Structure 1
Amino acid sequence: MVFTEEHKILKEEGEKWMKDTSNSCTIAAALIATVMFAAAITVPGGNDNSNGFPIFSGSSAFIIFAISDAVSLFTSATSLLMFLAIQTSRYAEEDFLYVLPKRLIIGLGTLFLSISSMMVAFSATVYLVFARKEAWVLIPVGALACLPVTSFVLLQFPLFLDLVYSTYGPGIFGKQSNRPFY
């Protein structure tokens, strides 16, 4: 009871931070899922009028597009579900130890995979559309496709590492170091 009363403000601040973080990531995951679903339906190059199959279906870049689009769609949906689970959590004290951090770790990890595979799908589409006539476009597009992935890693990876370490690393009673003069 004393612990609960003494940490009431900390629990409320943790709940607010967790909801704000998951809310922001929910928006990103929903946008990615929407875009990747639309990209799966409207394939690059369109469909052949005679048989209805995609025009570029024989190309290896099209297969890369299809696989990365599916991976991005499924991982963004998983990320969306994890962040929605955080939003609707009961926020009990014991949930802050493993349940909420685990959901946030899974959500951030799948959001990273979603962004990465979305950039692969985009790059494959640009390759399919421009590779034959405007090959010079591929180099700047490939370089710029790495920008969102790198930005997300630089901005969110420290949080991801802190969550993994604090959730699954040595506890406060665990052995901290083997070095004698630390």
Structure 2
Amino acid sequence: MRCPKAIRYKDKSGYDIIQLAVINRSENIYQLRYILGERRNVYRMIEDSSKNNMLHLVGRLAPWHKLKLRTGAALQLQRELQWREVVKKLVSPAYHTKENIFNETPDIVFTKEHKNLVKEGEKWMKTVAESCSITAALITTIVFAAAITVPGGSHQEKGFPLFRGQIAFKIFGLSDAISLFASSTSLLMFQSILTGRFSEQDFLVSLPRRLIIGLCTLMISTTAMMVAFSATLFLVFCHGKRWMLAPICVLALLPIASFATFQIPLMVDLFRSTYGYIGYIFKKRSSKNSRRLYPYDIRLFFGK
């Protein structure tokens, strides 16, 4: 810390820079707690005029300009829960259940402030799960029917498929099985979301993880289904003409590309928010890697 006095600046409400960083969800400013030296332990017990500790402050709803950076209400609530988990590591355990002057614990403040966000997150999660479960159920039905009615039919006396010796038939069998297993898994994940509970803590890891698994397996099942269908077209209609593979592959890529265009961004957001945020944004940084802090920077943060 190059300028120790800079950390003592406070705004009109009496909040210092770390408290404001928590209230306004500013990750970069929050990192300053790692270079505070002897003042680091102060933030484990600090309270404002209403006896709100750091957990009370993080229990308040984040500013709208911070919430709208996340995709959907569920991820917005997840980010709020992640902030609370991180601040818990800074605050002394004795303050986790300490009441303010309004007889409110940090958990009560968080629940009251995020009540509407929990409802919106549940609605968003169910909407996504319902729409995707319909697609998963349809794929499961199609690939199951394709598995029991193999292309080209079977030998009347021996019962084995007529095309069993061809590579395209093996590709059909493998991709059809992958699609069936993946779509079934996807359907079960979406159903577990629709029938599960929607408490605050479930939005931290449990529900997003189920949605990630459901979307990934749905993507795999869709791709495998198109591969199986393409192999069937080649077996039944192309009669060994390999030049027909080009138009078949182009047509098969259209639905896959359409699905990927709309779903991959959501999958990436879910994965980063669930598994990458706490480990990257809130990781401990040494003072050597921290940017030098000047009083002018503090004034900018306080709006002075």
Hey, what does 1:174 align to over in structure 2? Answer: 282
Greater Cα offset, 138-147 or 39-48: 138-147
Partner Cα distance (1:150, 1:35) in 2: 20
Hey, what does 2:270 align to over in structure 1? Answer: 163
Aligned CA distance change for structure 1 residues 2 and 141 (closer, same or farther; 3 Å): same
Deviation, 1:37, is: 0.2
Q: Given the alignment, which residue of 35, 49, 73 partners 2:156?
A: 49
Q: Match for 1:61: what amino acid?
A: A
Is the CA contact 1:36–1:118 (under 8 Å) kept in the aligned structure 2?
yes
SS state at 1:5 partner:
helix
Sequence identity, in percent?
Answer: 57
Hey, what does 1:141 align to over in structure 2? Answer: 248
Instruction: Please say if 1:83 is aligned against 2:168.
Output: no
Deviation, 1:136, is: 5.3
Instruction: Please say if 1:38 is aligned against 2:145.
Output: yes
Partner Cα distance (2:264, 2:130) in 1: 18
Partner Cα distance (1:111, 1:176) in 2: 37
Instruction: Please say if 1:120 is aligned against 2:227.
Output: yes
Instruction: Please say if 1:6 is aligned against 2:113.
Output: yes
Deviation, 1:82, is: 0.2
Hey, what does 1:73 align to over in structure 2? Answer: 180
After superposition, what is the alpha-carbon deviation per residue over 1:98-144, rounded to whole angstroms, capped at 9, x for unaligned?
Answer: 00000000000000000010011011101111222765543222101
Hey, what does 2:122 align to over in structure 1? Answer: 15
SS state at 1:106 partner:
helix
Q: Match for 2:193: what amino acid?
A: I
Q: Match for 2:256: what amino acid?
A: V
Aligned CA distance change for structure 1 residues 179 and 153 (closer, same or farther; 3 Å): farther
The structure with more radius of gyration: 2
Q: Which runs of 5+ in 2 are unaligned?
A: 1-107, 293-304
Q: Which has the higher helix share?
A: 1
Using structure 1 for the length normalisation, give the TM-score: 0.93
Partner Cα distance (2:152, 2:284) in 1: 57
SS state at 2:277 partner:
coil
Using structure 2 for the length normalisation, give the TM-score: 0.57
Q: Given the alignment, which residue of 37, 59, 73 partners 2:166?
A: 59
Which runs of at least 4 in structure 1 moved beyond 4 Å after TM superposition? 133-137, 176-181
- Give the length in aligned residue pairs: 181
Is the CA contact 2:234–2:240 (under 8 Å) kept in the aligned structure 1?
no
Q: Which runs of 5+ in 1 are unaligned?
A: none
Deviation, 1:28, is: 0.2
Partner Cα distance (1:124, 1:134) in 2: 13
Instruction: Please say if 1:24 is aligned against 2:121.
Output: no
Hey, what does 1:107 align to over in structure 2? Answer: 214
Deviation, 1:48, is: 1.0
